[in-house]
């Protein structure tokens, strides 16, 4: 069975400081992993995805994530937060053996303080 | 380019009334289609997915059903709404394959009163 856990429901950082949003997955098979962002009253936008190529994945708006199989993690990072990064972020997993399913984590709300 | 349309954007329905939410995709063929419900603090819960016309898989037993009468049309229905059906419903499509991302509609805010 597959599942994805986002360890923090809320994260608060100051503008200009690093961002770390944590995601752990459980999967018996090679997963594909994704990060999505949802701004208030907006739809879901893909930030980046991992599909078994490079373990460090770069996405839009300066975000990146590193796939660590030994830790079953796919944490999202950004070196310097911007006010416009305030949003809700979702980690998503899809497994190779049952790839029709597309499971979301519970989400992390990022607050950026001026 | 591909687009996804979901309507209505908002809906207020009385308890016990029927529901029909529609989602259509343009610019692609034979996509996987999905219905999710988003509740505060619970992320997006996968309700149904479909890999082809007439093929529906249900993830969570509930008061809702889904149908796919055409290749790019996905409908979420209920015969009698419950208060607990209130929420934000999102439709999505993906190309078939394990490493493809999903593209989402703008969602429907359903309030059952």
- With helix as H, strand as E and coil as C, how does chain A read? CCEEEECCCEEEEECCCCEEECEEEECCCCEEEEEEEECCCCCEEEEEEECCCCCEEECHHHCEEEEEHHHCEEEEEECCCCHHHCEEEEEEEEECCCCCCCEECCCEEEEEEC
Lowest mean pLDDT among A54-58, B18-22, B37-41, B83-87: B37-41
A32 touching B, CB under 8 A? yes
Q: What is the pLDDT of residue A2?
A: 55
B59 has a pLDDT exceeding 90: no
List, for residues A99-113, the tens digit of each pLDDT value. Answer: 778 888 999 999 999
List, for residues B75-94, the tens digit of each pLDDT value. Answer: 999 999 999 999 999 999 99
Q: Report the distance separating Cα A109 and Cα B10, nearest Å.
A: 23
CB contact under 8 A, A32 and B104: no
User: Could you tell me the pLDDT band of residue B100, with boundaries at 50, 70 and 90?
Assistant: confident
A46 touching B, CB under 8 A? yes
CB contact under 8 A, B90 and A102: no
Average pLDDT (A68-95) is 94
Q: What is the pLDDT of residue A40?
A: 82
Average pLDDT (B61-67) is 89
Average pLDDT (A69-94) is 95
B98 has a pLDDT exceeding 90: no
C-alpha distance from A9 to closest chain B C-alpha (Å): 7
CB contact under 8 A, B41 and A107: yes
In the predicted model, what is the mean pLDDT of chain B?
92
Q: What is the pLDDT of residue A10?
A: 96
User: Could you tell me the pLDDT band of residue B54, with boundaries at 50, 70 and 90?
Assistant: very high
In the predicted model, what is the mean pLDDT of chain A?
90
List, for residues A10-62, the tens digit of each pLDDT value. Answer: 999 999 999 999 999 987 677 889 999 999 877 899 999 998 778 899 999 99
Q: Report the distance separating Cα B104 and Cα B102, nearest Å.
A: 6
Q: What is the pLDDT of residue A28?
A: 67
Q: What is the pLDDT of residue A96?
A: 67
Average pLDDT (B13-24) is 97
A96 touching B, CB under 8 A? yes
Q: Which residue of A has its CA nearest to B48?
A: A101
Q: For A34-60, b where at least 16 C-beta lie within 10 A, e where not — what string?
A: bbbbbeeeebbebbbbbbeeeeebebe
């Amino acid at each position: 069975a597959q599942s994805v856990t986002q360890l923090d429901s809320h994260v608060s950082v100051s503008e200009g400081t690093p961002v770390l949003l944590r995601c752990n997955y459980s999967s018996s098979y090679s997963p594909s992993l994704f990060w999505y962002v949802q701004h208030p009253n907006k739809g879901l936008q893909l930030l980046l995805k991992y599909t078994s190529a490079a373990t460090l994945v770069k996405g839009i708006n300066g975000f990146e994530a590193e796939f660590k199989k030994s830790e079953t993690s796919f944490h999202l990072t950004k070196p310097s937060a911007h006010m416009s990064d305030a949003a809700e972020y979702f980690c998503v997993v899809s497994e190779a053996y049952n790839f029709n399913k597309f499971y979301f984590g519970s989400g992390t709300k990022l607050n950026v303080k001026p | 380019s591909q687009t996804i349309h979901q309507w209505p954007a908002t809906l207020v329905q009385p308890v016990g009334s029927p529901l029909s939410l529609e989602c259509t995709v343009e610019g692609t063929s034979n996509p996987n289609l999905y219905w999710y419900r988003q509740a505060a603090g619970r992320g997006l819960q996968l309700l149904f997915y479909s890999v082809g016309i007439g093929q529906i898989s249900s993830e969570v037993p509930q008061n809702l059903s889904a149908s796919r009468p055409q290749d790019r049309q996905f409908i979420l229905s209920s015969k009698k709404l419950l208060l607990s059906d209130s929420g934000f419903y999102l439709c999505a499509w993906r190309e078939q394959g394990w490493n493809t991302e999903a593209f989402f509609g703008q969602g429907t805010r359903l309030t059952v009163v």
